[in-house]
Structure 1
Amino acid sequence: MQPRSIGMTLLFAATLLLTSGHLTDSVGNVAQEGLLPPTPPVSRSVTLPPPAAPQAQPTKAITAEITSYRVQAGDTLFDIAAKHDTRIEDIVKHNPSIDPAQLSIGQQLQVPVKTIKHPKSRDELADVGERMVLSQTGEPSRYLRKIQGCTLTAYTNAFESTGKHPGDPGYGVTASGRIAKEGLTIAVDPELIPMHSVVYIPGIGVRYAEDTGGAVKGRHIDVFYNDDEYARHFGVKQAVDIYILEEGTGES
């Protein structure tokens, strides 16, 4: 046997003698042989409270400007509403205790101001159209709504379109009260497209929802032209996507 092997054997024997009959626990305490082994350290788990739910930010309600108005002699709710560009029902809503038929001189009212949205003039509507920019796909870069699958037809002031002859009351007048004009006027279903909306029609251009018609329902748009022959040859164009650039007031 080599000397190095003998030395290792002696070291191993000495280790057995030192540890025989004794165990040493993890904290240095000696446990007698035959006793239960030392209790392993207890693992403590800490339960953390759940993270607090994020607080919703309060939403500011948009309210109309309110002004205080003292009733004068001869005032009616209609007059007061007209002065403040508001509706009678808006005044009553903010003054539930008043009797609309019997206002008292000196009575103080809380009157909402400018609650009526007026339709834009044709010049204002034209400004919306002039600011429109087409993207590379041919769609407006900005629009409110896209209505797919519309049907386009054309109409004129002729009797076959309107049922009226020159000289008849309302001849050439649209449902908005404006005179129908080529390049501007279209007839729409106001349930789908509010009156006075600005509409972009690919291949035709920017038009204004100024008219209605008994046969114009749903996704049917009638485009106004002056020339009867051109309107006849316009035919029916199907599956046209149109774009609402600005919603109208919905009022005639």
Structure 2
Amino acid sequence: MKKHIIALTAFVTLSVGAAGQASASNVHTVEKGDTLWSISQAENVSVQDLQQWNDLNSTVIYPSQQLRVEGALETYIVVSGDTLSTIAEKHNVTVKQLMSNNQLTSDLIIPGDKLVLKGSKVTQPEVKGATKTSVTSNTPSETKPAATAAKELTMTSTAYTASCAGCSGITATGINLKANPNQKVISVDPNVIPLGSKVWVEGYGEAIAGDTGGAIKGNKIDIFIPSKQAAINWGRKEVKVKILD
């Protein structure tokens, strides 16, 4: 995707959300040929939201599986000036719960991020012949992503947006970032991190390696942040990156 890399120093805050209860209308039964991507496009949600709402550690889904597709969790979208403490106090949760629910390893938060406050996830039906995956809980005392990492790297990170002049908003793998501004995507060198990989980035969280860039070679990544100012605030810094699948 054509984009501009924005680099400066770092500062962070969070983003806003709405809550809802599950009903028959917001549960999708997977049919043959469905993918998380096709379901996300049909339901106007992000792949990451589908994975989070349904405790999915990968993009593998099965026919007859039920997926929650909207209003799965009570969420909050951070606004300028928010901190984890003020959000926790306002919504009657603890900072520890916020960090655990959102797999945060620090109190740094990015404008536009959707925070899970509380809620339950869809219980998946048993799929004959399918291998069940488990989710590793993440607490503030742990500096690990939700899933076991296959490989860990230290990489130089920068940030970009989809709203720059001349930017199409479509990534190398076809993700429409303008239509899905809350999707967490990183641009990678496919020779280092294969496109489509699920990754965890220190200070950013779980994301999809869904884009490439002319300046992104070797141990470099470019993270997508919907807010231009937040991308500027991210700057250029060394981060730990864990390849989850």
TM range (shorter): 0.3 to 0.5
Choose between structure 1 and 2 for higher RCO, CA contacts under 8 A separated by at least 6 residues. 2
Larger CA Rg, structure 1 vs 2: 1
Bigger helix share: 1
Q: Given the two structures, how large is their TM-score scaled by the length of structure 2?
A: 0.43
